[in-house]
Amino acid sequence: MSETDRLARQIAFLLDADRLKTILRRTPLADNSRLENSAEHSWHLALAALTLREYAPSGTDIAHAVALVIVHDLVEIDAGDTFAYAVDGQDTKAARERAAAERLFGLLPPDQAPSFRALWEEFEAHDTPSARYANALDRLQPLLLNMESGGGSWTAHGVRRSQVVARMQPIRDWVPEAWSFVVDVIDRACALGRITPD
Amino acid sequence: MSETDRLARQIAFLLDADRLKTILRRTPLADNSRLENSAEHSWHLALAALTLREYAPSGTDIAHAVALVIVHDLVEIDAGDTFAYAVDGQDTKAARERAAAERLFGLLPPDQAPSFRALWEEFEAHDTPSARYANALDRLQPLLLNMESGGGSWTAHGVRRSQVVARMQPIRDWVPEAWSFVVDVIDRACALGRITPD
């Protein structure tokens, strides 16, 4: 592969990745003006990874965790965003996302594709401290937006308290210093009728 | 400061930072469906920093360059986005952005604020290899979007060829392997009437 072809493939990948800006999540922005997209969500996670580094699990490589969150949602370009609290789509999610990873990372030069795919797989497996930190942030950030926007996807979709608590377990397990804050947010949202009681 | 107050300040910072998603740039998305916002732009730069690492200036710390691009536009929350090709606003930009940095990074715990402010200052000064790489990407990424969207901000604002070439100099200086690609993009955009000839 010539130098020119190599750069052309990398740029084709970056232009395809641009479509992540058009994938809408169920969570609104903090100001409740519109739904968040997956590209700006990924940026917000990267900023959170830098900001909350002191709470990361022992052994976390912060720079690596940032790379994980930058890449973690790219498969949604083909596979779409599967709502965390939905029943539909969860069973086919893995297959759709694997096919998306194959195509999308396959746009890169062949020697580069595996390292990007490995970032996505590491995030999904949450077997490393960096991936556990990244996954915990991926739960905390929408909680912050639902809290700030007045209920967000919790209220819009009638999500129950036990569902939210279950969804937030990666924070309890891997970023325990933030857990009492999370429980407090959930309790206040329940008291305000923004989360449905069990 | 108690542990609780410390986390509360970090979360206040992250929620304030959410407003970067509402700051619109002049560049459209690649599919030309709408203007890009500064948060998703910052994500795209981070992905570009990971993807194009082989072209970074000698001495670049890629993880550090990623941190620079994640933080680089936060001041726009207060100061707004100043269009690169505009005459108006360039003289007051520095003062507006310094005041924004003071307020925004001041939301963080006092021991943490300086390291975030330092990232923004390093990006702005472009005196380090990592900052030069980050700045070159900040020029390349909108070129890709203008190219793909059919002219974008170049056409919408009647930007001249010499202005674009001048704007892209950080790429020639710091990521020279991408320069012939950039010149080719500019030449084609001129031939198609998307950039105004000099």
Q: Enumerate the residues of chain B whose CB falls inside 8 A of the CB of residue A46.
A: 43, 46, 66, 70
* Contact between B38 and B81 (Cβ < 8 Å): yes
> CB distance B43–A47 less than 8 Å?
no
Q: CA-CA-CA-CA torsion for A52, A56, A59, A61, nearest 10 degrees?
A: -30
Both tokens of A123, joined, read 């995030």
Minimum CA–CA partner of A107 in chain B: B51
> Number of CB pairs < 8 Å for A and B?
137
What is the number of other CB atoms lying within 10 angstroms of the CB of residue A114? 12
> CB distance A43–B48 less than 8 Å?
no
Q: Which of A35, A126, A100 minimizes the C-alpha distance to B21?
A: A35
Minimum CA–CA partner of B140 in chain A: A11
pLDDT number for residue B186: 98
Measured CA to CA, the distance from residue A38 to residue A19 in angstroms comes to 9
Q: Which of A22, A144, A177 sits opposite B3 (nearest CB)?
A: A177
Cα within 13 Å of Cα(A197), Cβ side: 6
Q: Is B32 on the interface with A (CB under 8 A)?
A: no
Angle between helices A38-51 and A62-71 (to 10 degrees): 170
Minimum CA–CA partner of A5 in chain B: B181
Strand partners, A35: A28
ipTM: 0.97
Minimum CA–CA partner of B44 in chain A: A18
Q: Is B90 on the interface with A (CB under 8 A)?
A: no
CB-neighbour burial class of residue A165 (10 A; exposed 0-12, middle 13-18, buried 19+):
middle
pLDDT grade, residue B90 (50/70/90)? confident
What is the number of other CB atoms lying within 10 angstroms of the CB of residue A122? 20
Residue B24 in 3-state DSSP? strand
How confident is the prediction for chain B on average, in pLDDT?
A: 96
- Give the model confidence (pLDDT) of B117-176 as tens digits: 999 999 999 999 999 999 999 999 999 999 999 999 999 999 999 999 999 999 999 999
Q: Is B35 on the interface with A (CB under 8 A)?
A: no
Provide CB contacts within 8 A for B189, sequence distance 6+: B146, B147, B151, B154, B164, B195
pLDDT number for residue B4: 84
Q: What's the average pLDDT block by block, 10 residues per block, for chain A (198 residues)?
A: 91 98 97 98 98 98 98 94 78 89 97 97 97 98 98 96 98 98 98 96
Minimum CA–CA partner of B52 in chain A: A10
The C-alpha of A106 sits at a distance from chain B's nearest C-alpha, in angstroms, of 13
pLDDT grade, residue B82 (50/70/90)? confident
The C-alpha of B43 sits at a distance from chain A's nearest C-alpha, in angstroms, of 5
pLDDT at B68 over 90: yes
Q: Which of B182, B136, B181, B138 minimizes the C-alpha distance to B161?
A: B182
Measured CA to CA, the distance from residue A45 to residue A65 in angstroms comes to 10
Residues within 8 A of B (CB atoms), A 65-84 only: 66-67, 70-71
pLDDT number for residue A16: 98
Distance between the two ends of chain B, CA-based, in angstroms? 59
